[in-house]
Amino acid sequence: MRLSELFSLVVLGLISSIALAAQGILPGSGTQTDPFVIEDFADFQAFCGSNSYWANEIYTRLDTDLDLTAAGIYPKAPIGPNNNDRYNGHFNGNGHIIRNLTVEGESNLGLFGYLHSSAVITNLGIENVRIKGVDCVGGLCGKKYGTITQCYVTGSVTGNYYFVGGLCGINSGPITQCYTTSSVKGRSYIGGLCGENDGGTISLCYATGNITGGEKYAGGLCGWHYEGTITQCYATGSVTGHDFVGGLCGENYGTISQCYANGSVTGDEWGIGGLCGENSGTISQCYSTGPVAGEVGVGGLCWQYIGTIVNSFWNVGTSGIGRPGENYFGAIGKTTAQMQDINTFLNVGWDFNAETANGPEETWHMPFNIMGYPMLWWQKDIPGDIAGSYGVDFEDVAALSSQWLRASAESSADLFEPLDGMVSIDDLQIIIDYWLSGR
């Protein structure tokens, strides 16, 4: 091919891309191997504004970070606003972040409004979100039947009525490896991750935001947990409400295993618990550590017991409930020192193993070189652990090399503090200092 012909093809390609952008048509074909691609704000507007991108088996990938500050109260959100016009597709955030999203309205509010059971949202960060609505309100989605994995939300979520959560208002599907730090406020069914978990499966997740409920069912992770499963999760934010208030769940009618709550819990009257306000299901391998306050029906783990509790703990020092060694319907009271001792959990079969690369089976690890409570295996707290495999090794060298001398305010390999937005020899020294740590 002659140089002139090659130049002509390049020019034609550029003209074609510009024409597609002008028409609101995203690059790609929407298949799994050739997804639609969001490369800038105009692409994002096109995606949000057309349900032709929301159909079943339509794949979309985000290829850039987006700052929506200038968008104000975003007029084309939520994506898939209701059951009749819902989102059914696959959205891959590709490790990118959407910042400063503001949405105000009534029901099914979030970046996504209503997720069909076939919908999949993965690998997406949403930072400094501000969502205000009436009911079914969440930072990522209002009502969810699909799958969410490896996503997180920071900011604030407020609902005037029911079903308000940091990630989603109502969940009826799988949520895995997600977290929220958002503050959440509402009247009833309020939770750090979801307001209500209705038959869904939540695993390997945590929430740290403060929760404020007005009437009943407020929890650090989930306000109302009904006929679903919550496993290997924790919540650390403070929870304040009236009736049925818990550090993890306001009320549990499902199964909870290998979970803990570490925040203060305050309620006015009935059903106040360090882990669950009321339990009508099964709880196993859990503990709570937050101080508890209330007038009637107050318990270190749950105030009312109907189900079965095994291999579970609560912190008698921070909760102010019970004595060390006391058996409370199967849960054992522990001191703060015992709660920060890995042997407390190993002795009852909790899975701790630092070898987490390449699809690990282990679940927990203790904080690196500091005292604290168990962390999930995918959480990074070792300096130099860029790849997130709870160790510093060749994976991290490869990640640093891929960003070497690349200026970026958000580089994961910018390790040396104060951060300067450049990956250089100072960051390599962190890798050297912590080589093979955690292994």
Between 18-27, 188-197, 232-241, 259-268, the lowest mean confidence (pLDDT) is in 18-27
Q: What is the pLDDT of residue 44?
A: 95
pLDDT in tens, 243-279: 998 888 898 888 888 888 888 888 887 877 777 877 7
Q: What is the pLDDT of residue 132?
A: 96
Give 79's Cβ-side CA count (13 Å radius): 28
pLDDT in tens, 153-202: 999 999 999 999 999 999 999 999 999 999 999 999 999 999 999 999 99
Strand, helix or coil for residue 193: coil
The CA-atom distances, in angstroms, between 195 and each of 87, 192, 306, 422 are 20, 7, 22, 40
pTM of the model: 0.84
Q: What is the pLDDT of residue 223?
A: 95
Query: What CA–CA distance (Å, rounded) separates 36 from 134?
Result: 33
Q: Using omega within 30 degrees of 0 as the cis cutoff, is the peptide bond preceding 291 cis?
A: no
Predicted confidence band at 143 (pLDDT cuts at 50, 70, 90)?
very high
- Residue 356 sits at φ, ψ, to 5 deg, of -115, 0
**pLDDT > 90: what percent of the chain?**
45
pLDDT in tens, 60-76: 999 999 999 988 887 67
